[in-house]
Amino acid sequence: MRQHFPTVPCYFVIDQAREHAFTIQTALAQQRKTPSNCLFVLGERRNEWLSAKARFRAEEFDVVALSDDEINRLLDFLGSEERWENLSI
């Protein structure tokens, strides 16, 4: 099987994680076979997540929505720090 993980620590941010639950499980199984550490940050509505067939051993955190002012401050900060190039989809 081809390895898809780099040999350096990295992180993955996955929104609407329920739709990708089985792919995430496969990725986690592959990652466990590598020497590097990876952080998976999964986003999903709680009721959607609980309805997923796949189960993960994970620590869960509730995140509240940002206000418009908080979003604008975050965007201003990223712009002032010239961090846009570090963001990717």
What are the pLDDT digits (tens) for 22-39? 888 888 888 888 888 888
| pLDDT higher than threshold 70 for residue 4 | no
- Count of CB atoms situated within 10 Å of the CB of 18: 18
- Torsions phi, psi for 11 (to 5 deg): -135, 155
Closest C-alpha to 26, from 47, 49, 5: 5
| pLDDT higher than threshold 50 for residue 1 | no
Closest C-alpha to 60, from 79, 44, 73: 44
| pLDDT higher than threshold 80 for residue 2 | no
Closest C-alpha to 43, from 18, 65, 64, 75: 18
89 and 56 Cβ atoms separated by less than 8 Å: no
Residue 75, both tokens: 């965007």
Lowest-pLDDT range, 1-5, 13-17, 80-84?
1-5
| pLDDT higher than threshold 70 for residue 14 | yes
Query: What value, to the nearest 5°, has the Cα angle with vertex 62 and ends 4 and 82?
Result: 60
pLDDT single digits (tens) 34-89 = 888 888 899 888 888 888 877 778 788 888 888 999 989 988 887 776 666 666 54
